[in-house]
């Protein structure tokens, strides 16, 4: 199963991607994690990406597309994967379609976490404060970078919802439910045919 998980910073996308990957037995592929690993390892990709990431901007498409193309060609991704943080632009989405098409494959589902974006800045600033207190802060957890990350999402990544809606594979899930409910709604969305449906856990007490 080949899945893309879309959602703005602070939507809980990373947490849900990890859970879903475990449940489905497929790898979670986070381009943010891959790029941070490249920065830590001091590779040439890391050197190109470091300052851009610290500002909260998007790394150039060709660089990220090359990383993903290599990663999804590995044996552990043969039977599927969850992409977390990729694609983030229409150019990346079209490149992913091309890569998969060339291998006779396609995406099965694109899941969008639907959240109130107005509330996100406060939520991610609090999370960043906690991370700083625990010594786990990311270099792009500053208020300035977080504002840029949200702005980049709205401008470059949000249009992907329409791109995938037109392909008939977009499923939207209410991301403001409790974590377990979001997780069950995502599973329900994956296993249900049909588009344009908003998934909320149906078994609420
Ligand atoms: P994330 O961990 O997904 O929040 O990503 C952290 C940062 O890595 C982003 O703010 C971007 O600078 C960079 N990044 C991650 N994925 C992508 C992508 N698909 N395209 C461009 N930049 C990305």
In a domain? residue 204:
no
As given in the structure block, the two tokens for residue 24 are 């489905």
Domain count, the chain: 1
Domain membership of residue 103 as a residue range = 2-198
The rounded Å distance from CA 2 to ligand 1 centre is: 20
Give, rounded to a whole angstrom, the gap between the first and last alpha carbons of the chain: 30
Name which of 179, 182, 161 is nearest 170 in CA terms.
Answer: 161
Q: Is residue 67 part of a domain?
A: yes
Instruction: State the Cα–Cα distance between residues 187 and 167, nearest whole angstrom.
Output: 20
If you take atom 10 of ligand 1, which residue's CA is the nearest one?
56
CA of 10 from ligand 1 middle (Å) equals 13
Using the atom order of ligand 1, give the atom closest to the CA of residue 9.
Answer: 4
Ligand 1, atom 8: nearest CA belongs to which residue? 32
State the SS3 of 99-150.
Answer: HHHHCCCCCCEEEEEECCHHHHHHHHHHHHHHHHHCCCCCCCCCHHHHHHHH
In a domain, 104, yes or no: yes
State the CATH number of the domain containing residue 153.
3.40.50.300
Catalytic residue ranges: 13, 88, 127, 138, 149
- Ligand 1 mutation target, pool 13, 14, 59, 66, most atoms within 8 A of CB: 59
Nearest atom (ligand 1) to Cα of 68: 19
| Single pTM value for the model | 0.92
Ligand 1 centroid from CA 31, angstroms? 6
Does 7 reside within a domain?
yes
The answer to whether residue 23 sits within a structural domain is yes
**β-strand 170-174 against 28-30: which pairing, if any?**
unpaired
Ligand 1: residue whose CA is nearest its atom 5: 32
Cα 23 to ligand 1 centre (Å): 24
205 residues of the chain, pLDDT tens digit each: 999 999 999 899 999 999 999 999 999 999 999 999 999 999 999 999 999 999 999 999 999 999 999 999 999 999 999 999 999 999 999 999 999 999 999 999 999 999 987 878 888 888 888 888 888 888 888 889 999 999 999 999 999 999 999 999 999 999 999 999 999 999 999 988 654 456 665 544 4
Q: Is 10 in the pocket of ligand 1 (CB under 6 A)?
A: no
């Amino acid at each position: 199963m080949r899945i893309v998980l879309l959602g703005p910073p602070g939507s809980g996308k990373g947490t849900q991607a990890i859970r879903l990957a475990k449940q489905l037995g497929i790898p979670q592929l986070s381009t943010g994690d891959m790029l941070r690993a490249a920065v830590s390892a001091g590779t040439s990709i890391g050197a190109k990406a470091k300052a851009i990431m610290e500002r909260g901007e998007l790394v150039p498409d060709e660089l990220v597309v090359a990383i993903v193309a290599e990663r999804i060609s590995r044996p552990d991704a043969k039977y599927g994967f969850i992409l977390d943080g990729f694609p983030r632009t229409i150019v990346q989405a079209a490149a992913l379609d091309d890569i998969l098409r060339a291998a006779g494959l396609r995406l099965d589902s694109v899941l969008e976490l639907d959240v109130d974006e107005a509330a996100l800045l406060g939520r991610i600033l609090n999370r960043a404060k906690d991370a700083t207190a625990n010594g786990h802060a990311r270099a792009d957890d500053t208020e300035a970078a977080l504002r840029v990350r949200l702005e980049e999402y709205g401008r470059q990544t949000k249009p992907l919802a329409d791109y995938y809606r037109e392909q008939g594979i977009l499923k939207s899930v209410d991301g403001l439910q409790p974590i377990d409910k979001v997780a069950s709604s995502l599973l329900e969305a994956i296993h249900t045919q049909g588009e344009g449906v908003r998934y909320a856990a149906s078994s609420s007490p």
